[in-house]
Every structure is written in structure tokens, then in C-alpha cells.
Amino acid sequence: MLCIEKSNMNPVNETPYHLPKDATWLRCSTGIGRALAELIASKPSHRLIATARNPSTLSYLPDNDPRILKLALDVTQPSKINACFATAAAHFSSGSKDFHLDVVVNNAGYSLSGDTESATEDQMHEQLETNFFGTVRVAMKAVEHMRQRVPTRDDGGVVFNLSSLAGVCAFPGHAFYHASKFAVEGWTESVAREMSPEWKSEFEPPDPLSLAESIANCLVSVNFCLVEPAGVKTHFEGHSKAHTAPHPAYANPAMPARKLEVFVNKGLSMGMGLEPATVAKAMYDVASRGEKIPLRLPLSSTAVNMMKMALQERLKALEEVEGFAAVE
């Protein structure tokens, strides 16, 4: 059987990333996106491409700030994504200053919960269409821009894909939401390994002896990071959550999904979860600290502890069936 050596698996995010002082960020909306948008807007030299399916939800941002561009964006429509990037490039390109995109935050999504057996075809497809394929479309358009750098800019950029504890641990009553987040996790890790360590800036200095020549030899670093919070105080459990129809076979309060609903509702009533601003600051700090970008960023002690438990369970399960590996 084919054996893939670990050394043959392209490492990810190998180069320290240095966020430009005039970095351009893309994405937001409500919740975590709003917190991040407000943080970026508070940085005098940073620029923000603020997007939402309904731009009226971006009213918390000023209309007359040249550093902020508000655009409509539906991640389920490829043409709208292309138009968004084209408009942003035209808006922030002026004279000799070319458009550069430094950080993209993929935070569009919602949760479909309830009895899996009663989920409709439309509900299943819409969950994956928004949470997974929408993330993929925006991320690949971002990579297209980041790997084609402009003069004097050598760092490719960072793509933050909002995953969740739900991308690592699965709970009853959220099968299709978990499917979308597990897909985001696997896709992100795979595509992160596709990023070439040999992409270089296309900048060619007019004076071969100038110090700027070193810029032409800088590697273009396109980095991916999976953000994995356990729970955030947003509208995610409100208008960002969809439900399947109740199925009589799972109506008993003793069923696992019903027990989890009680637990989650109790936690919400107690105000449990991270503040959106905490998640936003974590992403900003990771992008701006001048170090390597981690592939995964679990947020909160709950996320870390539950991920450890899940990994330990998998290791134990692996050891229990390890004898079957001898079939080769």
C-alpha cells in the first residue's frame, strides 16, 4: 500500500507574517464581524472592505471615511463575490498605489439544528452552500489576489476561516452544521498545504544595486488560520440559526438532542460564551504580532479542553482497532 511520508506533506504557514501598517481587511457583518470591523476602523492607517448580504446592517460604520468601503456580498453567488473584489480593487487603487488585500475573515454562516432525520433537501444544501462553499469561494478569490503581490509588498496575506469547536467535536442535533464545519477544517488544512513556498514578489527595482532589490527576493506568504471558538455571544443562536421540523421519533426529553437543547438554552440564559470583541482581538493579535500564523486557533478554555477530550477519545479508539491495520 502507498505510504505517505510526513516529510512529503507540505508544511503550512512556515514564514513569519508581518502585517503592513496600512493593511487592507475584508469581511464583516454582525457579531464577530462587527467587532472586528470596529477594531479595524479604530486603526488610523488600516483600511476596511466591510461586506454584508444586507449593507444596511453596516450602519454602525461611518459613511464618509475614505478608509472604509461598504459593499453588498452574498457568498452563495460567485458573480457577487467577483464584483465585490473588483469594486474593492478599483476603489483602493489610485495613481501608483496598487490594490493589495492583506487579511480576509470568512465569518459568514449560520447553524441548522434539530432532528437530522427531518431535514429537507433544501435545508441540507443551503447549510453547506453558505458555511462551506461560500467560505471556499471567498478564500480562493483572496488567494488569487494575495499571491500576486504589488510593488514593495512582499507578504502575501492571511485568510481566517471561522470554524468552531463544532469543526472538531460533534454533538447531537447539529449534524449538517458539523458537516459544514468539518468540511471547512479539512478543506483549509489541505489548501494551506497547496500554498507554494516559492511564490515571490513580482517587484523589480529600477536600480539593481538598490536595497529594494531584496524585496524582489522575498517569499510571498499566503497563510490560513482556522478560528475555533467554543461559543460566542452573538445572534448565532437567534436569527442566525435555522431549525429542522421536530420528528416524533426524537421527541422524548431523554433523547440526546433534547438534553443538549436544554443545556444550550440554560447557557444562553446565563450569558455564557466569549464576547465577539475577544474573538476579534485574537485574530488581530495573531495577524499583527510578526510571528508564524497558526493553522488552528482554539479560543476559550472550553474549546481547548473539549478538543483534548475528543482527540484522546479518537486515540483510544484508534488503539482499540490498531490490530486491523495489519491487513496490509
Q: Residues with catalytic annotation?
A: 163, 177, 181
Where does 156-202 show beta strands of DSSP type E? 157-162
CA atoms within 13 A on the CB side of 29: 18
Question: How far, in Å, CA of 256 to CA of 261, rounded?
Answer: 9
DSSP code of residue 55: G
| Best CA proximity match to 22, nearest among 286, 214, 292, 288 | 288
Give me 202's grid cell: 513580482
**CB proximity list for 148: less than 8 A, separation 6 or greater:** 202
Distance of CA 280 to the CA centre of its chain: 12
| Best CA proximity match to 178, nearest among 101, 257, 102, 69 | 257
* Cross-strand bridge partners of residue 227: 162, 297
Could you count the other beta carbons within 10 Å of the beta carbon of residue 90?
Answer: 11
